[in-house]
Amino acid sequence: MIEFSLDSRSGVAPYQQVVQQVRQALRLGLLGKGDRLPTVKDVVASLAINPNTVLKAYRELEHEGLVAARPGVGTFVTRSLSDGSLAAHEPLRRDLRRWLTAARTAGLDEESIEALFVSTFRAAEEKTA
């Protein structure tokens, strides 16, 4: 089971935040096929958000084919996003840590590191697109 959290200053609509968090959990292997998502009531009770927000997020996930609702039982994960790639996560994370250490020793502060990463990431994406 996963727990959601909302950042009200992110500018991202709450339902999209829920969708993103489910996707991320699927990618990171926190959620796998057959796992049950928290019930709408549980999400609502912990986040104090409108139930329609959660329903909308779950509907979108269903539409994407990631989950399926079984009436009266709950919403279950039908597909995992982590297949195959999950094994590669650990070495990649190690590389990234090494890179971060290198960046710090080079004198970059946190903001500069983030800026460098984001701009490189965007530039790379534009090239592939």
Residue 50 as a binder of other proteins (CB under 8 A): the answer is yes
Contact yes or no for 40/54 (Cβ under 8 A)? yes
Q: What angle do CA 17, 90, 85 make, to 5 degrees?
A: 65
Residue 108 as a binder of other proteins (CB under 8 A): the answer is no
Token match 């991202």: residue? 12
Among 18, 25, 53, 66, binds other proteins (CB under 8 A): 53
Q: What angle do CA 95, 100, 101 make, to 5 degrees?
A: 100
In the complex, what is the shortest distance from the CB of residue 30 to other proteins, in angstroms, rounded to a whole number?
24
Among 45, 68, 102, 118, binds other proteins (CB under 8 A): 45
Among 22, 25, 26, 49, binds other proteins (CB under 8 A): 49
